[in-house]
Amino acid sequence: MIERRCCQAPEPYSDEIARVYDLLVEGREDAEAEGQELEFLLWALRDACPRQVKDVLDAGCGTGRHLIPLAREGYRGAGLDNSAAMIEECRRKLDSRALSAELAVADTGGLDYDACFDAVLCMNSAICYLLDTDAIVGALRGFVRALRPGGMLLLDNCNFLAQWMTFGETYWNKREGERARIEFQERRWYDDFASIFHIEIEATVHEGERSYELRNRDDLRVMTVGEMTMHLKGAGFTAIAAYPSFDLSHADEPCGERMLFVALRPAAG
């Protein structure tokens, strides 16, 4: 079991998880952002950022769900993840598409860049794996430093509390792709005192003639739009806008499945 404890960086995913991550989490192998999700991402990079975006950092890139379509669109991408296995899976997917990006193993909370990027992405609730408030604000300050003046942060957090009907329930499911077949059960629960959302998965993976067991637990910090906005302001971001959906036509709705934030590093002077 992978344990997440307050004030500690999340445990890197193993080789076994990385190989089947897309199938297990996204429901298909070699998953990429597409449809309204990709449209929102491209809108943010092309229209919401006051500077021209060429260099993009994907902090917590995983297997390249967002990095790969951006590379295909011509952006110069760099991807970081704390799991060497996830980085290798991302590299395999890039190579299979004849695409390139700079990849490195590093924690989202410990960036060491100085004005190197026009945009930083932190998608799929990656920042929520930092359970301590100081660690979250520290990561956001690292994003500010990594951006050039006028650069943009796009932050994507799941609205965990919108899933309250699933709390305490156990679900059984199976997924099948060309390389693997997975049978798994998933349990979700919420610690309302610590504001931590827990997901525990037990799975049997079949890859060719090989079968093996997986067990993983993720603990994620739950934050409201107001709390996340406060942390962004405290880290030095301005012009912060929040969206409840990748569909911009729903931008004025009061609630949604996601908490999408677009924020800017102040321009020089």
In the chain, how many domains are there? 2
The counts of H helices and E strands in the chain are 6, 11
pLDDT digits (tens, 9 = 90+) for 152-206: 999 999 999 888 888 888 999 999 999 999 999 999 999 999 999 999 999 999 9
Three-state SS across 98-131?
A: CCCCEEEECCHHHCCCCCCEEEEEECCCHHHHCC
**Is the model's pTM score more than 0.95?**
no
Do residues 132 and 196 share a domain?
no
Query: What is the spatial distance between Cα 90 and Cα 264, in angstroms, rounded to a whole number?
Result: 28
Phi (first) and psi of residue 18, to 5 degrees: -60, -40
CATH number, domain containing residue 183: 2.20.130.10
With a cut of 50, say whether residue 4 has pLDDT above it. no
Do residues 212 and 98 share a domain?
no
Do residues 21 and 122 share a domain?
yes
Do residues 117 and 51 share a domain?
yes
CATH number, domain containing residue 21: 3.40.50.150
Domain with 183, as residue range(s), is: 162-219
Do residues 36 and 98 share a domain?
yes
Map residue 96 onto helix, strand or coil: helix
**pLDDT for 9:** 59
Query: What is the spatial distance between Cα 63 and Cα 13, in angstroms, rounded to a whole number?
Result: 11
pLDDT digits (tens, 9 = 90+) for 198-235: 999 999 999 989 999 999 999 999 999 999 999 999 99
114 falls within a domain = yes
